Chain A
Amino acid sequence: MFSSPLETLLTISLFIISVATLGLVYRVIKGPSVPDRVMALDSIGINLIAITAIMSIMLNTDAFLEVILLIGVIAFIGTVAFSKFLQKGEIIEYDRDN
């Protein structure tokens, strides 16, 4: 079925990460509170990084390395923004002076 041990390994890990992502999706949908959902989304982002990385090994290309970096940045910014929103109800605060 698989041509090499590496590919077997990659496929298995991809499967495991996918299952983990599905679990996180369940948490996003079900999640009793908003922080649960935010946490789940953040983790989905990390899992996406992993999936993209494994995919690019499997596709034998380095074209997706920017995608990996970008997901990392966005997941971080998104989570911070959400947290700030949950904490203060505002993401970008205005200076009182102007």
Chain B
Amino acid sequence: MPSADPIPVSAMPLVSPSALLHAHLKQSPPRRPSNRVPSEPRAIQLNVGSLTHCNGSSLVKVGATTIVCGVRAEILPVSEIPSFRVTKSSDRNRSKPVQRKDGGEGSDDEEGYSPIQLYNLLVPNIELATGCSPKHPAGTAPSVEAQSISQRLLSLLHTSQLVKTSDLEVIYTPPEESQDLELGINADPEIKAYWTLYIDMMCISHGGSIFDAAWLALFAALKDCLLPQAWWDIDSEQVLCSAAVEEARRLELRGMPVPSSWGVFVPEARLLDMQDEQLDQYWILMDTDAFEEGTCEESGCITVDCSNNTDSILRLEKSGGAVIEIEQLEQIAGFAKRRWQQWRDVLQTASGP
């Protein structure tokens, strides 16, 4: 005899998530349980400058995912770096040592030798153990997902060379009268310290595609970052900072990389009706949320940068599944480009306190 109590609608994501997603996607036109089309990203809300004690901060909300990011700048004297090495090439290339007026891109190329990587001047860290989802209870040790996202953020920072090394250098130029060629004392400018940026992110709500939201928060915080003017005081032999806000300067970021996560949903065999549907049906879902991440076997992330009117792919990651091929990748790259434009619009209209 038939069951008297049908399964309530709110329990369907727990009972059979694949069936629920399939029931939504096979409509015409296909919809998602969050009432989006498969290629539609979620809306992005961005606040910058919320944390007044940080050098730079941002609050990013992508759908149900909420991430707060703060950047803290600290001075790392060169004398405290044990493996610091003086390079002749960096001295030779530096024609205007202290004030960099021209933002020439060519002179800033760091071929192979980057102090940001060598001395770990950028330290991103994401905290997921805040109770943001049932899988991440508050107060536990960093999970595999948190460590993996932190490593991916650091790797993307290095790959895209987002921050210029010259922005983080504190350079001292001895006065001209101290130069004495007979005694061998030269007045070459030398690097006395580096700024180290500690980028800390907290995930308030875990709603899927954490890496995308974390990178967007990191980028907005770095864009909002203000570094005070620092100089080397020869008398006290330490780095002094100016407290005046007018003398502080912002970071010049190279390009604007934007990651886009995707997932591929392949329905289970028992959900298919042999007479009605194709055997190899799949859907590509852009900007997956937490529910869709659980049901998609194949997932990936593409990072594009469309600045300066040139479209370039910085990174391509994929794991699991067997569906994605070249045509699907081109389609995904088109989606990612539209995501880039969405982020650029959000960034231009970013609201501050």
Query: A and B: real partners?
Result: no
